[in-house]
Structure 1
Amino acid sequence: MIMGIGVDTVNIERFERIITETPAFVRRIFTPNERSRNVRSQAVRFAAKEAVAKVLGAPAGLNWQDCEVATAESGQPYLIIRGTIADRARELGINRIHLSLTHDEPMAIAIATAEYLSDAELEHLRKFNPESHRLSVITETSADEG
Structure 2
Amino acid sequence: MIVGIGVDVVDVARLAARLEAVPGLVPRLLTGAEAAACGGRARSVAARLAAKEAVLKALGGALADADRPTPAGWRYRDIEVRGGGSVPPRLVLSGVVASAAAGLGARRWHLSLAHDAGIAQAFVVAES
TM superposition score normalised by structure 2: 0.84
> Which residue of the partner structure matches residue 141 of structure 1?
none
> Which residue of the partner structure matches residue 13 of structure 2?
13
> Which residue of the partner structure matches residue 25 of structure 1?
25
Please state if 1:79 is matched with 2:82.
Answer: no
Please state if 1:52 is matched with 2:55.
Answer: yes
> Which residue of the partner structure matches residue 40 of structure 1?
43
**In 1: Cα distance, 2:111 partner to 2:78 partner:** 16
Decide whether the 8 Å contact of 1:12 with 1:107 is kept in 2: yes
Decide whether the 8 Å contact of 1:70 with 1:79 is kept in 2: yes
TM superposition score normalised by structure 1: 0.74
Please state if 1:93 is matched with 2:96.
Answer: no
Structure 2: state its 5+ residue gaps. 65-70
Shift of 1:96: 1.1
CA deviations on 1:77-100 (whole Å, 9 max, x unpaired) are 001211111101011111111100
Computing the radius of gyration over CA atoms, which structure comes out larger, 1 or 2? 1
Shift of 1:33: 1.3
Shift of 1:29: 0.9
CA deviations on 1:16-35 (whole Å, 9 max, x unpaired) are 00111112221111101112
| Structure 1 stretch displaced more, 64-73 or 98-107 | 64-73
Structure number with greater CO (CA < 8 Å, separation at least 6) is 2
Q: What is the root-mean-square deviation of aligned Cα atoms in Å?
A: 1.5
Structure number having the greater strand percentage: 2
